Amino acid sequence: MNNYETVFILTPVLSDAQVEEAVKKFEDLLKEKGCEIVAKENWGLKKLAYPIQLKKNGFYTLIEFKGEGTVVADLELAYKRDERVIRYLTTKLDKHAVEYAVTRRTKNRTARA
């Protein structure tokens, strides 16, 4: 099983409940395909670097997961079919990126406490 990280941006016109529903949909898809979700971060509403579909903001979400390589194609197909998603990026993490992700998560937890 490989380690992956996916970040997707949802349209800013959604309510908090709709954002949670969209995120849950993608989490459920990953679990259905046999993936293990390592971490999930909701980065909230952020300004985009440039307008996308005439929108200047978007809801960012990051999901780290472990799974087979074939899952990425299914996940990205689901992103393409969902009109709430305006951008997405999925990357395979090497051992150094996994270590960095672990330290970033622990650093964020201690900063919140």
Distance, CA of 91 to CA of 30 (rounded, Å): 15
Q: Which tokens in the block code for residue 67?
A: 């799974």
- C-alpha–C-alpha distance, residues 76 and 74, integer Å: 6
pLDDT-derived band at 112 (thresholds 50, 70, 90) equals low
pLDDT of residue 1: 87
For 53-110, write each residue's pLDDT tens digit.
999 999 999 999 999 989 999 999 999 999 999 999 999 999 888 888 888 888 877 6
